[in-house]
Chains A and B, each alone.
Chain A
Amino acid sequence: DTAVSQTPKYLVTQMGNDKSIKCEQNLGHDTMYWYKQDSKKFLKIMFSYNNKELIINETVPNRFSPKSPDKAHLNLHINSLELGDSAVYFCASSQEDSNTDTQYFGPGTRLTVL
């Protein structure tokens, strides 16, 4: 059983379009995250969300918005896509009982903006 799943795995789209990436976790975790990984493999946290609060990295453009229909899902919606949005996006989850908790990552969504 896949612990953290994302769809689609690949997404190719034109500049200016709006797109969404879906994420689901079946681990019963309280907190979910979105990361952006650039071509040099640098990981940047975009959002952290649990049922109590949303923490937004202040450097993330407001064209990006997380949407959580329930505790097991955290989707990423992107408006007005730009060339610089091309990257691999990872969803992750963890149980937040202590700072010893491991993060579990999805397989990633490779977004290409043309």
Chain B
Amino acid sequence: GNSVTQMEGPVTLSEEAFLTINCTYTATGYPSLFWYVQYPGEGLQLLLKATKADDKGSNKGFEATYRKETTSFHLEKGSVQVSDSAVYFCALRSGGSYIPTFGRGTSLIVHP
């Protein structure tokens, strides 16, 4: 079956620090990979996605590259801001399934 593994949080950083949140997956077929972000008190929203190997998704300064050889989709940002404090979810969809598979989420706390 499909699964997504994310690094456990919380991840605590100072403003302008470099961010990496690791995500690895197992899936049947050729999955599409997603990062969703959940700001406090809100629902999840798409941050970025990649639909085939070696694709790079990017948005709001965040990037993630679909690495088929290492089955990974790590999220990175060069300089985080306090406003990036949120919970980040890695997810995949594979094999035409209606049901996405989500990781457990990683909380990011950015201090001024």
A-side residues, CB < 8 A to B, are 4, 31, 40-43, 45, 48, 50, 55, 90, 92, 94, 96, 98-108
- In the docked arrangement, what's the CA distance between A55 and B100, Å? 13
* Complexed CA–CA distance, A102 and B34 (Å): 8
Main secondary structure of the interface of A (DSSP, over half): loop
Q: How far is the CA of A21 from the CA of B42 in the complex (A)?
A: 17
The answer to whether A41 touches B105, judged by C-beta atoms less than 8 angstroms apart, is: yes
Cα–Cα, bound, A100→B50 (Å) = 8
Contact A101 B89 (CB under 8 A): no
Query: In the complex, what's the smallest C-beta–C-beta distance from B23 to chain A, in angstroms?
Result: 15
Contacts of A104 in B (CB 8 A): 45-46
Interface bin, chain B: 20 to 34
Chain B positions near chain A (C-beta within 8 angstroms): 31-32, 34, 36, 38, 41-46, 49, 51, 87, 89, 93-100, 102, 104-105, 107
Count A-B contacts at CB 8 Å: 60
Which of B87, B94, B99: most chain A Cβ within 10 A?
B99
Is the Cβ of A96 less than 8 Å from the Cβ of B32? no
Write out the residue numbers on chain B whose beta carbons fall within 8 Å of the beta carbon of A102.
Answer: 34, 46, 49
Q: Beyond A43-B105, A100-B32, A101-B93, is A55–B99 a contact (Cβ under 8 Å)? A: yes
Chain B residues within an 8 Å CB radius of A90: 43-44
Q: For residue A49, which residue of chain B has the nearest CB?
A: B98
User: Contacts A41-B104, A41-B107 given: A31-B43 contact, CB under 8 Å?
Assistant: no
Contact of A99 among B36, B41, B93, B105 (CB under 8 A): B93
Can you name 16 extra interface pairs (CB under 8 A) apart from A42-B105, A99-B95? A41-B38, A41-B105, A45-B99, A45-B100, A48-B98, A48-B99, A55-B99, A90-B44, A92-B44, A94-B98, A98-B32, A100-B51, A102-B34, A103-B36, A103-B46, A105-B36
Q: Are B49 and A31 in touch, CB under 8 angstroms?
A: no
Is B105 in contact with A105, judged by CB distance below 8 angstroms? Answer: no
Query: What A residues does B49 contact at CB under 8 A?
Result: 100, 102
